[in-house]
Amino acid sequence: MTSEILIAPSILAADFARLGEEVAAIDAAGADWIHCDVMDGHFVPNISFGADVIKAIRPVTKKVFDVHLMIAPVDPYLEAFAKAGADVITVHAEAGAHLDRSLQAIRALGKKAGVSLCPSTPESTIEYVLDRLDLVLVMTVNPGFGGQSFLDSQLAKIARIKAMIGDRPIRLEVDGGITRDNAAAVAAAGADTLVAGSAVFRGKGDADYAANIAAIRLAAEVGRVPHLQESSAQRMRVSDGGRTR
């Protein structure tokens, strides 16, 4: 089963002093989902924001809120994020002893359930919960900070997870260091939902954000058709006036 490519800008890279405006800007710029990275300073070495911030920005857009919980323990907070406006709630396989229970709890709250894997976590971890999933999120950096470089070692894992999913209606999302330069490889491996932070929130506003989202989307779409990659790269160079990024 081949799903359309979705681009989910991570608001972790937004200007927090203007967060509502930034969410509205990426909505207008063509974002498909809004990716919300929640960090607790315990499971990952950083603190970002919580359910109250998600509740505050929820009225700004009708786009799907893709909430990635990098917190442990996670179960006590699922209801708060569901009530705040999350549409998809993703928990880490490494964040608790009872992943199956966590996924059941998310679905019981009426939300779509996702699981995320850190770079060192094998795909076999999710073998017995696939039928409880709406999304698998492969981390292509070690979680905790934005602006990190993409780990090429994860491409083979993406491909293996794609094979595991088979015909199930499960989205395969990738988060970490995604740019227009590696989006084709990620999509070719099987991903259909791309999270990008710094690569989207580069520039001065709506027009730049729209161009950034469009470039990532184009690269991912042609990544699914290998013989188009060279011609797409040529078009991008022309549109940049011969510059590359």
- Tell me which residues are annotated as active site: 37, 175
Bridge partners (DSSP) listed for residue 68: 37, 90
Instruction: Using the structure block, give the residue that is written with the tokens 């991008």.
Output: 236
The single-letter code of the amino acid at 63 is K
Helix (H) or strand (E) holding 2: none
Strand segments (E) across the chain: 6-9, 33-39, 64-70, 88-92, 112-117, 135-139, 171-175, 193-196
How many C-beta atoms lie closer than 10 Å to residue 41's C-beta?
12
Cα–Cα distance, 158 to 173 (Å, whole number): 9
Cα–Cα distance, 109 to 134 (Å, whole number): 14
Q: Phi, psi (5° rounding) for residue 233?
A: -60, -40
Instruction: Using the structure block, give the residue that is written with the tokens 């890279």.
Output: 13
